[in-house]
Chains A and B, each alone.
Chain A
Amino acid sequence: MKPPPFDYHAPRTLGEALDALAEAGGDGKVLAGGQSLIPLLNMRLAAPGQLIDINRVAALDTLVREPGGIRVGALARHSRVERSSGHPLLRQALRHVAHPAIRNRGTVVGSLAHADPAAELPAVLAVLGGWVEVASVSGTRTIPAASFFAGPLESALLPGELAVSAFFPSLPPRSGSAFAELARRHGDYALAGVAAVVELDASGAVTSARIGCLGVAATPLVLDLTPYLMASGAFADAVAYVRERAEPDGDIHASAGYRRHLLGLLAARTLSEAHATASSPGPSAHRITGGTTDE
């Protein structure tokens, strides 16, 4: 379990990083927190010839509250985002990402770029309708979550591109979010998980209800359950619809049938919790104001 040979680059600026990536082309791989990449290298499941370590690119170590959401730079660690993003759904989801030691090293953007369908953050970005900012020597582009996750462990990033930040839209007033997952052990990848967002109007009626599901499809599965929740008491129909739409695979940890069963339970739980939060009076914890976050 030692990695195969590779050339190591340690750029100090974004420009240097993009140059190195451009030169490496398809043979390049970005090292940020390394929590997925290093095991893959050590098990020789990945063998990039060029490793571009972006940990010295200070400009990527950012966490900025902007009007409408939070921008998470490529070097922001899970633990910092968990503590300081001010975004309730991010906080709820990040608690489930592995263990504290891993959250202290691993990065939010790295997790998105890794595009594991059983990971928490892709589902969160997807249900929020967020996006990823991408840079290369030829310019920048914005990739919406809906097209960023291309398949299991496959993102829309092209050779030479670096995901420089991710934008998580904030929740509007009178909304609530919830996150739940079930894993075999504390901190493991989930057998199934759900991130839910429910929005209400001034009268308390549901105007939007969406869930992002993890572990039950090749990419995060976002489902709009608004019609079911607008009709009060239609949870059972929503759950049936969720189970019908999921396409989980069975593996050594759980059968497809069990994952589908769990997904329905988790959808009901998270929708109910998100709805209750949205309905509860009090100061909105969900508004994000501009500026760099305080930690």
Chain B
Amino acid sequence: MISERSGRATVQLRRLSDGTVSPLPQLGRHQPHSSPSLSWNARYLAVITQRGGRRLAVVADRLNGRMHPLPLPGGRAPIRLSLAPDAQQLALQVTDQGQWRVELLDLSSMLEPDRPPGQALSTPAVGADP
């Protein structure tokens, strides 16, 4: 969720089981933040940031600390976003010729899937019969 920190809209990740706030060192600046969206296990957090006076969608990978900026063609600015639960797609609301549009981006070449808890993997176990 977004909360005010030192007067700046900043994304905050709170663990629902115990209420603790998880650190997001990759997202400590580039405020204001808006439109946060999480993958299944909260490995990935997508959010709109502000850099150099322009809005930029980014995906933070909490497992390895990497940030993935997602610049839009034509320098368009994102307004809202939604990350697919497995983080393989992102939907972005943008403005195009005065109208709102929703555009889909395929992230499968950038991000490993964040699979739902308990989902069996298709890779056979070592030593398993073919």
> Do they bind each other?
no
Identify the B interface with A (CB < 8 A).
Answer: none
